[in-house]
Chain A
Amino acid sequence: MLLVLWQAAAGTGLLPERLLPAPTTIASTGLDLIRDGTLPDAISVSVRRAAVGFLLGAAAGVGLAVLAGLSRLGEHAVDPLMQMLRALPLFGLIPLFILWFGIGETPKVALVALGVAFPLYLNTFSGIRGVDGRLAEVADVLRLGRWGLVRHIVLPGALPQALVGLRQSLGIAWLALIVAEQINASSGLGFMINNAREFLRTDVVVLGLVVYAALGLLTDALVRLLERRALTWRKGFPV
C-alpha cells in the first residue's frame, strides 16, 4: 500500500528522484549491484562485523552475568563496574576507540560488542536473580548439587529474561554497526552508502538503508523462532 503510493508519487514527479527514488528504481539498482557483486560483498563484510562483535559481546555479557548472578563475590566484583560503564554513552566512545584501535575493523567490532554486552548482561543477571527461590529449595531436597542447580534451575529459569536481552542487544548491534560504518570504512554497507552520497546516488543510499532494515528484521525473526522453541513450556505458547 505504502509502496504503491510511493511509486505513484515518484512516477507523477511529486517526489523528485533526487530526494527519494521510486521503489522500482531502487529494485533495479539493487539487481545491478547484486550482479556486479558490490552488494553481496558489502553485506558479507557488514554481517561479519556484526557477527563477530555480537559473539564477543554476547560471550562477555552472558559470562559476566553468570559470574555476578551465581556468587555474591562475583556480584561485588562485576556489577558495580558494569553499572558504571553502562552510564557511558556508547557512541561517545567512538573517538576514543579510533585513538585506541585505529580505523581498521577493531573499533567497529568493539563498538558492536560493547553495545551488545550491556543489555545481555543486565537481563541475564536479573533473570538469574529472579529465579524462584522455592525451586532452589527443590534442587536442594532433590540433592542436585551446585552444578545441577545451575544447569537445571538457574540457567533455564533465566532464559526468558536473557532472550529479552538478546532481542534488545541485536537491535543495538545493528545500530552500532551503522554508526561505526558511517564514521570510517573502506568496505561494507556503510562504505557503500557513504560512497553513494558523494556521487549523489540517492537510490544506492536508500537501498543500503533497506538492506540494514532487512538484516535487522531477519535477526529479530531468528530470535522469535528461538523463543518459540525454547519457551514452549510456557502456558499459552503455541508449540
Chain B
Amino acid sequence: MAQGLPGVTERTDPPAAAAARPVVRVRGLTRRFGERAVLDGADLDIDRGEFVALLGRSGSGKSTLLRALAGLDRDTGGELSVDGTVAVAFQEPRLVPWKRVRANVTLGLRGPDPRAAADRALAEVGLTERGDAWPLTLSGGEAQRASLARALVREPDLLLLDEPFSALDALTRITMHRLVSDLWERHRPGILLVTHDVDEALLLADRVLVLDGGAIAHESRVGLDRPRRRDHPDLTALRAALLAQLGVTPEEGTA
C-alpha cells in the first residue's frame, strides 16, 4: 500500500496513489467502559472521498467510534490512523453561543482570509443572511447548517457527522440530505455519517455499515447513481437486509 512508500509526499503523489491510501484505517479497535467492551475489535477503512454511513442500534457504540476518530477519546486500544485533517458536526449543533454565526465558522481557522472563507461556506449552506446573527436566535435547521459550514470551511479530508439531522423535522431533513450530497460532490471529503435512518444511509452513502457487538457486523455497497430515489427497486432489497441486521422486519421499518 502507498502508506509504506518512503519519501512520498502528498503533493507529489499521483492522484491514483493518493486515492489508494485510505483516510481512515482502523484495526482491532477496542474501547471499554468499566467491564463492558463497547468496541471490541472493530475494523474500518474509509477511502479518500468515500461516503460511508454507519448504522447500529442505540448504544451499539457508533458515537464512541466517531469520537475515537475525532481524536476526542484517547483511551482506546488497537490501531487507529487518520491521514489528513478532520472536521466534526455533532448531533446538536454545538455553536458557541457568545460568538456570532460567522465568528463560529472562523473559530480556529487559519489562512489568509478567514472571513471571506466563512462567508463562502455560509453561502454554500444558504446562510448568507445570518452571518451576523447570534446562534441562539437560529432555528434548529439553520443552526445545524451553521455547524456544517463550520466543519466544511476547514476543507477536511474526513468529515465526521454524528446523527446531524436526527433532531430536524422531515422536510428540513430532506433539504439537508440534498445539501450534504451537493457539498460532498463539490468538495469530496471522506465522510462517516452516523445515523439511525436506513433510508438516509441508502440515499447518501457509497457504503453502509452496521455496527453490532462492538465490530462492523455487516457491509452493503450502494452502487446507484445520485440523486437516488427512495423507491428505487434495488434499494428495497438493501433496505430489507439492513433492517434485518438491525433486528427490525421491513414492515416495521417502513411503518
Q: For the complex, what is the distance from the CA of A135 to the CA of B71, rounded to whole Å?
A: 15
Q: For the complex, what is the distance from the CA of A141 to the CA of B87, rounded to whole Å?
A: 7
Against A, the Cβ 8 Å flags (1 = close, 0 = not) of B68-86 are 0011100000000000001
* Structural contact, A235 and B137, CB atoms closer than 8 A: yes
Q: Identify A234's interface contact among B99, B108, B136, CB under 8 A.
A: B136
Question: What's the nearest-Cβ distance from chain A to residue B149, in Å?
Answer: 13
B43 within 8 A of A: no
Number of interface residues, chain B, beta carbon within 8 A: 21
Chain B residues with CB below 8 A from A159, complex form: 98
Against B, the Cβ 8 Å flags (1 = close, 0 = not) of A201-239 are 000000000000000000000000000000011110000
* Structural contact, B70 and A141, CB atoms closer than 8 A: yes
Q: Identify A140's interface contact among B71, B92, B99, CB under 8 A.
A: B71
Against A, the Cβ 8 Å flags (1 = close, 0 = not) of B132-149 are 001111000000000000
DSSP majority for the A interface?
helix
A200 within 8 A of B: no
* Structural contact, B99 and A152, CB atoms closer than 8 A: yes
* Structural contact, A152 and B96, CB atoms closer than 8 A: yes
Residue on A nearest B86 in the bound complex, by CB: A141
**7 closest A-B pairs (Cβ-Cβ)?**
A142-B108, A235-B136, A233-B98, A141-B88, A233-B134, A156-B98, A144-B108
Q: List 21 A-B contacts (CB under 8 A).
A: A134-B92, A137-B72, A137-B90, A138-B94, A139-B108, A140-B71, A140-B72, A141-B72, A142-B150, A143-B108, A144-B107, A144-B108, A152-B96, A152-B99, A153-B96, A156-B96, A156-B98, A159-B98, A233-B134, A234-B97, A234-B136
Residues of A within 8 A of B (CB): 134-135, 137-144, 148, 152-153, 156-157, 159, 232-235
